[in-house]
Amino acid sequence: MTSHEPSSPAVFWPRCSAVHGCSGRATGRLGGCAAHLRPREFDEFVGALRPGSDLDLRGVTVPLWLLDAVLDAVTGPDGRPHLGRARFDGAVLPSDAVLRGVCVEGDSSFDGACFLGGVSFYDARFFGNASFRGARFGRNVSFHEARFHRFASFEEAVFTCDALFGEARWHADASFRTAVFMGAACFDRARFGRDAAMQGVCFGGPVSFKRVQVTRHARFERTRFRQGAWLGPLVAGGRIALADATVHGGLRVHAAARQVTARGVIVHGEAGFRLRHAELDLEDAVFEGPATVRSLAHPIQGLVSPSGGRAAVRVTSVRRVDAAHLHLADIDLSGCGFLGLRRPDALAITGDCSFATVPDRRALRPWGRTERAVLAEDHHAGDADRLRVLYLELARATAGADRGRLAQDFRYGALEMRRRGERDPLRRLVLYLLWITCGYGLRAGRVVAWLAVIVALACCGGAVLHHGGRVGTAHTAHLTGRNT
């Protein structure tokens, strides 16, 4: 048996006999399963425990009285149970196990453990790595106000009922990859010191991430939300990733982050993105209900937003988005890709949305606008026909009284695409003449300029003709007088 420091004795239990109906381990010194020790042997076992002792209960079916006795034995002057390294791999823990306030000063492992009933880790402290990989929680579980100072894993864990992680703190990465939450899951006011990894998780009940702070990335790729998802108010220093996630019942993202990726997300219901600072990518997303994207004008109170950058949301792509209704408001669309949008007729653009601009070279008014709005894909000559249709739909989507100038630019862009894509030489010539003379009828200043030129030329011509007539008459009179 490995030796240990006297102040921190360890208890190791070898495999218990199947005669007792227990799959646990017995101590090497005491020679039997702790659940079946004689009173004197059990007293010796408990008497060897001190605050900070290592504990090995791998594979043990732990009765409630045994758990209570162990926790009492390792309770320190601060009233908290203190363990060194704790190993509960494959253990079966009793119903209503109370581990609140427990401090595990070394690594702890509950891999494959089974909690028969409700369990509370309220205000627990895990100073080493903590692993609950593959653990099964039979009833409600609470990690409210728990602290994880190093890496914490709940990968492949199954939460049969409600799981509470409210106000929990992770000082390093927290991984819940491929975990299953059958009941409600609450992470309100939680803090993640690095990444919150939720890839492939299945949330069977309601899920809430209100007032959550994530230092780096909040990752929900391939995650399934069966009863909707409310993410926010949430702040992430890096990325909020929802790529290929599936949401039933509606999605709400109220967040500040540097990047929000929702490529391929499928939402069976309404979707709303209220963002700040973020670049949003919606490429290939599917929204069966209405979807809205808008900027948050003010910082999220009580959370530290990413520093630097502009507050406005910058949408990078809505290519191949399929939405019953897509509403974009008060966002930056200067670099947004629109080609392939499934239902451009269901698009609405309102508020202060900015687009890319190019010089309006035929704008002959130096005091007027010298630029016009265009799409980021305007230079794709091979997509002229698709861009023409898209420009027309965008002109309709921005045709409100406050966006009339923008709608005019998009109608101009549609005619530009028609001119570029026209194959008939005669029609192309007519369109060219319309472009150069009056901007397809959409540039009134250009028409006025051409009329002014024509009038000036006419006046000059008239003046020349009038002056020439007077000179000719005088010359004739002179010749006539001389002959007489």
Query: Is residue 62 very low, low, confident or very high in pLDDT (cuts 50, 70, 90)?
Result: confident
Cβ contacts of 324 within 8 Å, gap of 6 or more: 287, 288, 289, 290, 291, 343, 346
Cα torsion for 43, 49, 54, 59, to the nearest 10°? 20
Query: Is residue 352 very low, low, confident or very high in pLDDT (cuts 50, 70, 90)?
Result: confident
The model's pLDDT over 437-455, given as tens digits with 9 standing for 90+, comes to 555 454 545 555 555 555 5
**Angle at Cα 94 formed by Cα 90 and Cα 96, nearest 5°?**
130
CA distance 420 to 425: 11
Q: What is the DSSP string of 19-46?
A: GGT---BB-TTT-SBGGG--HHHHHHHH
Cβ(194)–Cβ(169) under 8 Å? no
pLDDT at 80 over 90: yes
Report pLDDT for 26. 34
Whole-number percent of the chain with pLDDT over 70 = 73
The model's pLDDT over 15-44, given as tens digits with 9 standing for 90+, comes to 343 323 343 333 333 344 555 666 777 777
One-letter amino acid at 144 equals H
Q: What is the DSSP string of 351-368?
A: SS-B-EEEE-TT---TTS
Q: Name the β-bridge partners of 261.
A: 241, 281
Which range in 359-368, 392-401, 425-434, 466-475 is most confidently predicted, on average pLDDT? 392-401
CA distance 129 to 360: 62
Report pLDDT for 257. 94
CA distance 325 to 360: 32
Q: Map tokens 């009233």 to a residue.
A: 79
Mean pLDDT of the chain: 81
> Lowest mean pLDDT: which of 121-125, 335-339, 401-405?
401-405
The model's pLDDT over 149-172, given as tens digits with 9 standing for 90+, comes to 999 999 999 999 999 999 999 999
Report pLDDT for 390. 85
Report pLDDT for 242. 97
Cβ(330)–Cβ(311) under 8 Å? no
Whole-number percent of the chain with pLDDT over 90 = 51
The model's pLDDT over 87-116, given as tens digits with 9 standing for 90+, comes to 999 999 988 888 999 999 999 999 999 999
pLDDT at 365 over 60: no
| Secondary structure in 3-state letters for 53-71 | EEEECCCCECCHHHHHHHH
Does pTM top 0.85 for this prediction? no
- Mean pLDDT on 47-67: 89
Report pLDDT for 149. 97
What are the CA-CA distances from residue 190 to residues 166, 211, 219 (Å)? 6, 7, 15
